[in-house]
Amino acid sequence: MREYKLLQAGDTALVVEFGEHIDRRISACVLALARRLDQMQLEGVIETVPTFRSLMVHYEPLALSGASLKATIAELMQDLQISERPGRVWRMPVCYDSRLAPDLDEVAARTGLSPAQVIERHSAVDYHVYMLGFLPGQAYMGDVPAELALPRRETPRLKIPAGSLAIATTMTCIFPMETPCGWHLIGRSPVPLWDTQSESGPLLAPGDRVSFAPISLREYEDLAAKVAAGAFRILPEECLGAAA
């Protein structure tokens, strides 16, 4: 049985902690328990929320007591089947052109690499979606190659454009909307991570695998125009998506 800790989070949530570090094995445990609870459709469980190293379970105490939920989790943990196989696989188009990547040259200088080498290393990795958070649809993806791991900027920007691709520490993110940000901006993607025109919700989900396909500035502008016109959507396992 995997080691874990249970922490009460108020009267209507329970946190299941699996460790102290961010790594894919711990994430696999978090996601495995989330799947089991979701599959059970246990009366009283409202939502499961995976994080880097824990699972928050929201429940209705009038329908399910905290003690009963803890007992169910203990039973599930006895034979929890861990799988590190990815969920869906995505190939996301990203433009690393310096006009959309204001920190690319600085990242290159700080890492001792050329801008082209930064792009090559960043786009060569299959990233694991650990969790969603901060903004609707924002996926925290790791792990950034060690040579690109930098602390956050000393002075955050007050506003960055939607679609900005950024790195900080071991994580990379595409920010789904305009927002303040202290990460290093190295590109931009035209693909929306949250569909505001429908109820489909976030594009990415914890457990998905994402790689980045470098595209030119002209290709970025063409795809962005298609997105704005509602004539583009991306599908799993497709290089540049498919026209709707």
Cα–Cα separations (whole angstroms), residue 192 to 115, 182, 197, 202: 25, 21, 11, 9
- Is a pLDDT exceeding 70 seen at residue 238? no
Summarize pLDDT for 72-124 with one digit per residue, the tens: 999 999 989 887 676 899 999 999 999 999 999 999 999 999 999 999 999 99
201 pLDDT band, cuts 50/70/90, is confident
Q: Provide the residue ranges of all domains of the chain, joining segments of one domain with +.
A: 5-78, 89-228
Q: Report the chain's mean pLDDT, rounded to a whole number.
A: 92
Assign residue 154 a region: left if phi > 0, alpha if psi is -120 to 50, beta otherwise? alpha
Longest dimension (CA), the chain: 59
Q: Which tens digits make up the pLDDT trace of 2-51?
A: 789 999 999 999 999 999 899 999 999 999 999 999 999 999 999 999 99
Which amino acid is located at 142 in the chain?
Answer: G
89-228 has which fold?
Answer: Cyclophilin (2.40.100)
Q: Is 108 helix (H, G, I), strand (E, B) or coil?
A: helix
Q: Do domains 5-78 and 89-228 have the same CATH topology?
A: no
Q: What class has domain 5-78? A: alpha beta
| Residue range 114-129, pLDDT digits in tens | 999 999 999 999 999 9
